[in-house]
Amino acid sequence: MPEDDEDQSPPSDLRSQPPCSPNKSRNCISSSSSQTFPDHVLENVLENVLQFLDSRCDRNAASLVCKLWWKVEGLTRSEVFIGNCYALSPARLTQRFKRVRSLLLKGKPRFADFNLMPPDWGANFAPWVSTMAKAYPWLEKVDLKRMFVTDDDLALLAESFPGFKELVLVCCEGFGTSGIAVVANKCRKLKVLDLIESEVTDDEVDWVSCFPEDVTCLESLAFDCVEAPINFKALEGLVGRSPSLRKLRLNRFVSLEELRRLLLLGAPQLTSLGTGSFSRGDQSDEQGPPDYAAAFRACKSVVCLSGFRELMPEYLPAILPVCANLTSLNFSYANISPDMFKPIIHSCHKLQIFWALDSICDEGLQAVAATCKELRELRIFPFDPREDSEGPVSELGLQAISEGCRKLESLLYFCQRMTNAALIAMSHNCPELTVFRLCIMGRHRPDHVTGKAMDEGFGAIVKNCKKLTRLAVSGLLTDQAFRYMGEYGKLIRTLSVAFAGDSDMALRHVLEGCPRLQKLEIRDSPFGDVALRSGMHRYYNMRFVWMSACSLSMGCCKDVARAMPNLVVEVIGSDDDDENREFVDTLYMYRSLDGPRKDAPQFVTIL
Amino acid sequence: MENVGVCDEFVNLKATELRLGLPGTEDGGEEERQKVSCCKSNKRAFPETEKDIESTGKTKPASPPKAQIVGWPPVRSYRKNNIQTKKNESEGQGMYVKVSMDGAPYLRKIDLTVYKQYPELMKSLENMFKFSVGEYCERERYKGSEFVPTYEDKDGDWMLVGDVPWEMFVSSCKRLRIMKGSEAKGLGCGV
C-alpha cells in the first residue's frame, strides 16, 4: 500500500552553520585549546555511539548539541529524509551528509494529484541523481514520492550505484518500462523494486526478461500500476529463481490462471500478494473449473492481499483459505457487492488494514465492524467519484465501524451524506484516531438529518481524539469548525480544507492555534490577505502552505515574500496573463535553505 | 387552489423542456467547459452555480446534478481510471488504442469511444503530440502537412485515417500511428 504522507519528526536541520556555540553546551569539548583528547579520538567515540541512533528525530536533536556533534552526526547519518525536494539543493545534501546509503525524497504537493497543478511543474529527480552519483557511490536505497523521474535518471542510477538494493517509486511519473528494464538489468544486488501508483509509460519493452539469468536477490517486486502486458513466461522464470521473494504484486495483465501457476511455484514464501486481474481469459474448462482455492491454500504466509483489478466475483471465494491470516486487505479496485463481500470478511478476524470501494455499502461496513476487531486503518473509496453520484455508504456505516472497531487509528471515508452524530460517536468510540479524513463528496453539504453545518461533528473529533495528527474536512463548515480546530487540534500536523469556512477568521484560528501544523492545503475557501498575514510567525516552521482558488491578492503575497526571505513564494497562474486579476490562482510556499529554484516553468512566478 | 394546480403543471412542463446544458443552468454552452480533467488553469468552474449552491446550501440536498469541478472529489486519476467497471476495456476492437508518432519517445493511449467524428479525434491527437495535420479531402487525402495519421485494422493492414466511415473505423481500429516524412507522402497524398 502506498506510504502515507506522514513524517514522525520535525524537519532535519540542514543549516550550514551549526547553531550553538561550544561554550554553552556542557557535554561538548571545544575543538581546539582546552581539550584533553585529540579531536579524532573524540570523533571516533562519538561516531561509534551515534551510529546507533536511528530515528531522525533523535539525530536532529543530537546534531544541535555542538559543532562537533553536528559534524559527526553528519558523517554517520546513513538515512536521509527530505520532505520537500525544493527545501534545499542536492549540493547541500552531499556537503552535509557524507555517507548516505538511503534517501527518501518527496516532491510535488499532494494537491497535484488532483490536477490542481499544471504538468511540468518540477520536482525533477535528475539533479539529485546526478549529484549523488558522484558523492554516494555506495548508495543502496532510493524512495521517491511525487517526483518526476525519467528513463535517463533510472539509467544513471543503475549505472552509478553498484550496491544498489531498493527502488521505491510512489506516485511518480516521467518514466516507462524502458527505464525499469535498465534497473532490472544493471542492479545486480536489487532486493526491492516497488512501483506504487505511478504512471509508467508502455515503451513496449520486455523488462521482466531483463533481470539477470542467475538467482536473484529479489525480496519485493510490485508492478501493479504498470499498464502494460508482461512476458509471463519470463515472470515465471524470475519467480522460480528468486528464493528470497516475499512480496509480489502483479498487474492486471496477469490472469487468474497465470496467478495460479505462479502460486504453485512460490506461494509458501510469499507474505504479500497482489493478485493481478483476478479474472480469466476465454479458455475452455476441459476438466471442470480449475481449483484456484488450492493455489491459495498454498499461500500459508500471506498476510497482505491486494489486486483484484478486474475481479470476476464468482472466483472470489478462492481466497478464503488465506483470510484468517490476513492483516491487510485491499479491495479498492474491485466492485464488490455486499453479498459477495460478507462471506469473505466474515473470516478476516485479524484484519488491521482494509481498503475497499463503497460498493460494499453500509451493510458491508457493518460486517467489517462485526468481525474486524483489530482494525487500525480503514479506507473507503467511491466507486463513482462524482459529486452527484449515488452514495452507497453513509453515517450508518461509519457509526457501525466506530462501535465495532475501537482500535481504529486511521480513516479515509468518501460518502455522500453524513451526520454530526456519527462523527461525535466516532470521536468517543475511537480514541486512538491519529488520521481522520472525511470527504463528503457534495460540496457544502450539511448534516443530512438536522440540516446543520458539520461543525459540531468535526469539533468533537478534534476535541476527543487527543492523538489526532492529520485531518481532512468537508461538508458545510462555518468558522466555528475552525475555532474548534484551533482550540483543540494541538497535535495536528497536516490539515486539508476544501470549500469550507466563512471568513479569514477561520484560517486565523488554525494558524494561531495549531502549533504543530506542518502541511496546510486549502482550496476554494474564502480566506484572504488578513488570514495569510496572520500566519507569518508560523511559515518558517512549516513544510508548505498551499492555497488555491482563495481570496489572496498578489500584493499580499509579495509582502509575505518580502518579509520572509527564506520562504519561497510561488504563484502558479493560469494561461491568461491578466494583470488585473483580483485574486491569485494558486499560492504554494515553502521554506528553503538555498533560495528559489532555478527550474521553475513559465507558469510559475516566484515572488 | 386552482392557481396552485396551474403552477404545478407549469413547473412540470419546464422540467420536461428539451434544452442543452444541465438542468439548473441557463447557458447551454457551459457544457463544453465541464469535464476538464487536466488543465493548465485553476479556475473554479461555474461561479454562478456556486452561488446557487451556497444560497440553498442549508436546505436538504435536492439540488440538480452539479458540474464537475476540477479535482473534486479528491480521487487520484490513476484510481479513477482503474476502478473496475462493468464495461472493461475491450480487447482491441475500438475502445482503447495505442497511439504512436514517428519521432516521439512515448506511446499514448486514447479511448476512441470518447470521440464522435474524425475532426474531434484529429484535434485531440494534434493536442496530444503537438503537431498539425493537413486538411483532409477525399481526393488528395492530407494536404499541407508532413504528418499523416494511419491506423492498423483488424486484418493487420495499415490504413489512412479518414477513409472509411467513422463507425467502421472505431470498430476495426487496433492502433494508431502518426507517420512522418517520406513514408507518409506515399500513403497520404494523391491516390
Whole-angstrom CA distances from A525 to A152, A489, A501, A585, B52 are 41, 20, 6, 12, 16
- Contact between A363 and A412 under an 8 Å Cβ cutoff? The reply is no
Residue in A172, A223, A311, A386 to test binding to B, most B beta-carbons within 10 Å: A386
Instruction: Answer yes or no: do B60 and A451 touch at CB < 8 A.
Output: yes
d(CA A182, CA A159): 9
The reported pLDDT for the residue numbered A37 is 62
Report the percent of chain A where pLDDT is more than 90: 79
Mean pLDDT check: name the lowest of A209-223, A322-336, A510-524, B101-115: B101-115
Query: Packing angle between helix A455-464 and helix A479-488, nearest 10 degrees?
Result: 0
Residues of chain B contacting residue A204, judged by C-beta atoms under 8 Å apart: 107
Mean pLDDT of A264-287: 82
- The DSSP output letter for B44 is P
Provide φ and ψ at A553, rounded to 5°.
-95, 155
Least confident window among A52-56, A157-161, A564-568: A52-56
Place of cell 508548505: A544
Percent of chain A clearing pLDDT 70 (strictly above): 91
Position A36 scores a pLDDT of 59
**B86 to chain A: closest CA residue:** A335
Q: Which of A202, A549, A603 has its CB closest to that of B40?
A: A603
More confident residue, A538 or B142: A538
Q: Does B73 touch chain A (CB under 8 A)?
A: yes
pLDDT digits (tens, 9 = 90+) for B72-89: 999 998 888 877 654 444
Residue A8's pLDDT band, with cuts at 50, 70 and 90, is: very low
Q: What are the chain B neighbours of A357 within 8 Å (beta carbons)?
A: 83
* Residue of chain A nearest B75, judged by CA positions: A114
Q: What is the pLDDT of residues A466-498, one digit of tens each?
A: 999 999 999 999 999 999 999 999 999 999 999
pLDDT band at residue B69, thresholds of 50, 70 and 90? confident
Domains and CATH numbers, chain B: 96-185 (3.10.20.90)
Q: What is the pLDDT of residue A580?
A: 59
Cβ-defined contact of B83 to A445 (cutoff 8 Å):
no
Q: Is B71 on the interface with A (CB under 8 A)?
A: yes
A residues 115-154 lying closer than 8 A (beta carbon) to B: 115-116, 118-119
Of the listed ranges A14-23, A77-86, A409-418, the least confidently predicted one is A14-23
- Which of A118, A203, A357 faces B40 most closely, judged by CB atoms? A118
What one-character-per-residue DSSP string does A3-66 give? PPS--SSPPP---SS-SS-TTT-SS---SSTT-SS-HHHHHHHHHHHHTT---HHHHHHHHTS-
State the smallest CA–CA distance between residue B79 and chain A in angstroms: 8
- Encode pLDDT of A287-310 as tens digits: 667 889 999 999 999 999 999 999
Q: Does B55 touch chain A (CB under 8 A)?
A: no
pLDDT at B186: 54
Distances (CA, A) of A597 to A14, A95, A518, A585: 17, 18, 21, 20
**What are the pLDDT digits (tens) for A496-505?**
999 999 999 9
In this model, does residue A352 exceed pLDDT 60?
yes
- How confident is the model at residue A579, as a pLDDT? 58
3-state secondary structure of B143: strand
Give A42-77's CATH code, choosing from 1.20.120.400, 3.30.360.10, 3.30.530.20, 1.20.1280.50.
1.20.1280.50
Q: Note whether A114 contacts B69, CB cutoff 8 Å.
A: no
Q: What is the mean pLDDT of chain A?
A: 90
- Distance from C-alpha of A263 to C-alpha of A296, rounded to nearest angstrom: 7
Query: Could you tell me which chain B residue has the CA closest to the CA of A414?
Result: B73
pLDDT in tens, A508-531: 999 999 999 999 999 999 999 999
User: Residue A30: how many CB atoms within 10 A of its CB?
Assistant: 14
Q: What is the pLDDT of residue A67?
A: 85
Q: What is the mean pLDDT of residues B114-123?
A: 84
Measure the CA–CA gap between A576 and B63, rounded to whole angstroms: 32
- CB of B155 closer than 8 Å to CB of B146: no
Please report the pLDDT score of residue A61 as a whole number: 86
| pLDDT for res B88 | 45
- The pLDDT tens digits of the residues spanning A354-381 come to 999 999 999 999 999 999 999 999 999 9
The region of weakest confidence among A221-230, A300-309, B43-52 is: B43-52
B57 CB neighbours in chain A (<8 A) are 444-446, 476
Give the gyration radius of chain A's Cα atoms.
Answer: 26
**Selected residue of A148, A252, A383, A387 to mutate for chain B interface (largest B Cβ count, 10 A):** A387
- More confident site: B47 or A403: A403
Is the pLDDT confidence value at A570 over 60? Answer: yes
Short-list B52, B78, B55, CA closest to B64: B52
Nearest to B58 by CA among A447, A455, A391: A447
Domain segments of chain A: what residues? 42-77
Among A385, A498, A524, select the one facing B75 at the smallest CB separation.
Answer: A385
Cell numbers given for A33: 585549546
Its ipTM equals 0.84
Q: Is residue B43 within 8 angstroms of chain A, CB to CB?
A: yes
From chain A residues 233-272, the ones with a CB under 8 A of any chain B CB are: 252
